[in-house]
Chain A
Amino acid sequence: MLTTAAIEERYQAELKQADVDHHTPTAGAMIGHIMANLTIQRRKLRQMKWSAKGIDNGTFKAQVATLLTENDMLLDKTAERLLDEGEVIPTTQAEYTEYGMLTENARIKYWDVPAMMAELVNDFNTANLFVSRAIKLAQKEERFALAADMVDMLGYNQHQIRVLQSQLGKDAREGLDEEDDD
């Protein structure tokens, strides 16, 4: 067991490095954001699984239960990979709140299933903004195992987007890409 002073010294060094990494992003820092998003998404998935109502709610709940299982696997796999790479990982709610970009809303429990599906589409799409950046950074840093995991996650998220969009009667990227008409 480390002494209290040694633990504090390590934690302060971690905070200092996190600040440096935020201003010049590294793959590790970007994947910290990804872990935070996965953690937030886990809560949202449970919220939807508990609250979904309507004629097809059973099917949707089963789909969300699968997403929950996969979310846990992705979070664990990502954490283990970062540890393999010698990174310090975020572990507390305060860190996940600071680094996460997905938004929560207690009102979601009153939404109908299509609105919940549309929310999940947006969340997977937001998650992929970080994942695609993480891939580029990991490749640039020659951390190929990390990059490979992120490529897998990118594909997984893209697949979930297509499945959910098709359930909503939309094409895979309909309404999701940035409109830049300048």
Chain B
Amino acid sequence: MAKLVMQLDELSCPSCMQKIQAGVSQQAGVESVKVLFNASKVKTEYDETTTNPEQLTQVVTDLGYNVKSVKVK
């Protein structure tokens, strides 16, 4: 299990949290997702044999949010 932290541009509305949470958690291989509103971060745990940081970042980008940086742990 790997951990990924995505730093987004400032989230303007708390309802964005729900949208991102739902979008990322629906991806195959994603174990958990936590969206931090004030920090504008998405933290996720995923199975690296099923998905990868590029795919997960693309999900968030496709939802309309700019991913400024990613950190894999």
Contact = CB atoms under 8 A, between A and B. Distances in A.
Interface in A2-36: 22-25, 29-30, 33
B14 to A, nearest CB: 4
Contact of B13 (A25, A126, A180): A25
How extensive is the interface on chain B, given as a class? 10 to 19
Contacts, number: 33
15 contacts: A25-B13, A29-B13, A33-B13, A33-B14, A99-B15, A126-B14, A129-B14, A133-B13, A178-B37, A178-B38, A178-B39, A180-B36, A180-B39, A182-B41, A182-B71
5 interchain residue pairs of minimum CB distance = A129-B14, A180-B39, A178-B36, A25-B12, A25-B13
Interface of A: 22-25, 29-30, 33, 99, 101, 126, 129-130, 133, 178, 180, 182
Interface of B: 5, 12-15, 17-18, 36-39, 41, 64, 71
